[in-house]
Structure 1
Amino acid sequence: MNNKRSMATALAVVALIGLGSLALNGRELPFAAEAQPAGKPAGEADHGHAEGKGQGGDAEEGSHEEEGQLALTTQQIDAAGIELATAAPRLMSTSISFAGEIRFDEDRTSHVVPRVAGIVEQVKVELGDSVKKGQVLAVIASQQITDLRSELEAAQRRTELARLTLQREKKLWEDRISAEQDYLLARQAYQEADISLANARQKLNAIGANLKAAAGNRYELIAPFDSVVVEKHLGIGEVVSESTAAFTLSDLTRVWATFGVTPKDLKQVVVGRAVKVSAPDLGAQVDGRVSYVGSLLGEQTRAASVRVVLANPDGAWRPGLFVSIDVTAQQGTAQVALPEAAVQTVEDKPSVFVRNDEGFQVQTVTLGRREGGYVEILQGLDAGTPVAAAGSFILKSELGKSSAEHAH
């Protein structure tokens, strides 16, 4: 009986172990099938996976071939406001750029100084005021003016007395009452007195003083031409001398754009050559011509001084402003040129959007000269090709945020 129970127990244990083994094998099958398909050796399974990778690589290459293509209909292009331009030949100039500065026109700038010593009584203008020719800038009380005016008055009286004496002696001589010698001496005295009078007047004229006796000891500083007060070094009660720099006046309706040119570029920069002066800070540009090229080189810069005279009716070109000066060197025909608005920077490269049947395709180009809002295309584009001009930045933004970040 005990043997029968022992046999039954052993059979039950064996059966349980067999069922557990079957259950475990059933759980492992799906993973085994995913790792290696049935009926294929492991090598073939790996080979198939490698082929899958190869196909994925080809697909990726195909997607790269599609990069830069923007599919847009004609209606979408019109709605976006994108305008087309055709690449075409254009006459363009080669230019050389220099860094320059706006300065006062020294031919129309004056350092006004008093020509006599004295004390300032009045200052009639302020810094920045516009003045007219002959306008009084300041009034100075001067002892020197008093002395010169006294000398003038004395000369006037001597001349008048000499004139009367001459008239009397002439009458006496004609009536044969006095000798001719007396008449000649009287005439000589009158001439000497007249010379002294003219000399006294010239002294006052030389310093710009008023000849009228009512002016007293007042000396007036006068504006020599229509200008603007750009410097003022004068105050009421201040003692001044003949060397005191009282005012600096400049006619700002005309200024100079100056720059330096090294010897290697001097052949390209000659008097009369057309230039473009631009101020990035102002967003302004003006045309001009070289009016002067220095004959000497600077001791420190080893460059010749060059200037361009610019009209400045609105006063926008202020002295001290840094500018860029493009000097036209030579002219030639660019085989392919486009408006500058057609060129965008895509992945740090200058590119254009070429119109095709599907929309637009990005095309990298090589740039050349720039002039008048146009840019020369040296490589990457043929004449007659239509490209996006105005609104091309919209196409650039459509390439995606990542491309835009690379462009910046």
Structure 2
Amino acid sequence: MTRIFHYTLAAIVFCGLIAGAYVVLPTSFGKAPSKTEEEHDEHGEQAAVMSEAKLTAAGIELEKAGPATLKQTIRLNGMLQANQEFVVQVTPRFPGIVREVHKHVGDNVQKNDLLAKIESNQSLTTYELRAPLAGTVIERHATLGEYASEQKPIFVVADLSTVWADFSIPRRELRRVKVGDTIIVDPEDGNEPVTSKVTYLSPVGTSDTQSGLARAVVSNTDSRLRPGLFVAGRLVLEQTPAAIAIRVGALQSMEGRNVVFVRNGEKFEPREVELGQRDSERAEVLFGLEEGDVYAAKNSFVIKAEIAKASAAHEH
């Protein structure tokens, strides 16, 4: 009986040692990193430090996320021309010889400014031609000593403070366009587009191109818009408000996710975003950003490249 007791006691002790070893073994490999630490390490790798000087050198522009109006548009091609309601052809009253020329193409004139003097063939007296309105001389067909006929204008004066932007509307889109629609006119000169309204729709089409004409009267007080040049247009069909929107150029793809680089001090961190509607300029953000967040709106690919370089260096 005593021998059996000793065998039983030895077995219990042995099993206890085995169990003790099982409990102690995992601790001998060191403490496993917590989930919070893993997220922190990954977050640290996916950030780029960009000073103000570096932002300027890279051409990175910053904006704040906030409300915007998204515009559903169709793109159009057009051409600028002088507003024909303010273009005057100046024709001699009597035929004669041009004795003086006072204005040239490109000159700005005020109403009643002297343009030229002509010696009448009938009376042999000299009379004056004066500007009928304030504007710019856009054509001149008078040369000193030349014969001037009352059948042909020798000056054309135009008030270019407004111009016509004529757009070609494809046949399939004509039913969607109406007078009063907003149209965004882009001279494609590197400056901001100009917003105007459709003021005229031609009742007839063009057989060669199977298209119609839509016209907008555009303000040109800064003389930026030059008749004869092509322009691009975006006709606004629908406008939708968005609580938070960002520039489309801010969006980048990382690991299959849409991200925006949000500024935190001198760091830019990728923020995954869920997108809603968008137009050619802005995208609605449904989740991932808050109003007022400062983000890289232009040349954000530079930040993506910086993060990729830092990540590669970390792996090596």
Interval containing the TM-score (normalised by the shorter chain): 0.5 to 0.7
SS of structure 2 residue aligned to 1:266 = helix
Aligned residue number for residue 3 of structure 2:
none
Does structure 1 residue 261 correspond to structure 2 residue 208? Answer: no
SS of structure 1 residue aligned to 2:233 = strand
Shift of 1:295: 0.4
Structure 1 CA distance, aligned partners of 2:270 and 2:103? 66
The AA in structure 1 aligned to 2:220 is N
Which of 271, 278, 281 lines up with 1:369 in the alignment?
278
Task: Please give the residue correspondences for 1:174-185 in structure 2 after superposition, counting only pairs within 5 Å.
Answer: none
Aligned residue number for residue 314 of structure 1:
222
SS of structure 1 residue aligned to 2:245 = strand
Q: Which has the higher strand share?
A: 2
The AA in structure 1 aligned to 2:221 is P
Q: 1:251 to 1:70 in 2, by over 3 A?
A: farther
The AA in structure 2 aligned to 1:268 is R
Which of 31, 46, 54 lines up with 1:71 in the alignment?
46
Structure 2 CA distance, aligned partners of 1:260 and 1:389? 38
Does structure 1 residue 96 correspond to structure 2 residue 74? Answer: yes
Which of 116, 119, 122 lines up with 1:138 in the alignment?
116
Structure 2 CA distance, aligned partners of 1:388 and 1:70? 20
Does structure 1 residue 296 correspond to structure 2 residue 204? Answer: yes
Q: Contact 1:352–1:388 (CA<8 Å) still a contact in 2?
A: no
Per-residue CA distance 1:357-379 (angstroms, 9 max, x = gap): x98458698885336xx5225xx
Structure 2 CA distance, aligned partners of 1:101 and 1:342? 31
Structure 1 CA distance, aligned partners of 2:276 and 2:44? 22
Q: Which has the higher helix share?
A: 1
Which of 137, 145, 149 lines up with 1:241 in the alignment?
149
Shift of 1:234: 0.8
Does structure 1 residue 128 correspond to structure 2 residue 106? Answer: yes
Q: Contact 1:89–1:383 (CA<8 Å) still a contact in 2?
A: no
Q: Contact 2:276–2:286 (CA<8 Å) still a contact in 1?
A: no
SS of structure 2 residue aligned to 1:291 = strand
Q: Which has the larger radius of gyration?
A: 1
Shift of 1:78: 8.2
Q: Contact 1:275–1:288 (CA<8 Å) still a contact in 2?
A: yes
Shift of 1:326: 1.1
Structure 2 CA distance, aligned partners of 1:264 and 1:67? 52
Aligned residue number for residue 305 of structure 2:
397
Moved more, 305-314 or 281-290: 281-290
Shift of 1:343: 2.0
Aligned residue number for residue 195 of structure 1:
none
Q: Contact 1:297–1:304 (CA<8 Å) still a contact in 2?
A: yes
Q: Contact 2:263–2:296 (CA<8 Å) still a contact in 1?
A: no
Task: Please give the residue correspondences for 1:13-162 in structure 2 after superposition, counting only pairs within 5 Å.
Answer: 70-72=45-47, 76=49, 91-144=69-122, 146=123
C-alpha RMSD of matched pairs (Å)? 3.9
Q: Contact 2:97–2:121 (CA<8 Å) still a contact in 1?
A: no
SS of structure 2 residue aligned to 1:257 = strand
Q: 1:238 to 1:89 in 2, by over 3 A?
A: closer
Does structure 1 residue 327 correspond to structure 2 residue 235? Answer: yes
Q: Contact 1:352–1:365 (CA<8 Å) still a contact in 2?
A: no
Moved more, 234-243 or 109-118: 109-118
Per-residue CA distance 1:251-299 (angstroms, 9 max, x = gap): 1111111111123212322111111111222423211111111000012
Q: Which runs of 5+ in 1 are unaligned?
A: 1-65, 147-215, 402-408
TM-score for the superposition, normalised by structure 1: 0.54
Structure 1 CA distance, aligned partners of 2:263 and 2:100? 74
Instruction: State how many pairs are aligned.
Output: 258
Structure 2 CA distance, aligned partners of 1:361 and 1:108? 54
Per-residue CA distance 1:319-376 (angstroms, 9 max, x = gap): 12222111110123558732345224779x97534899x98458698885336xx522
Structure 2 CA distance, aligned partners of 1:350 and 1:236? 69
SS of structure 2 residue aligned to 1:398 = helix
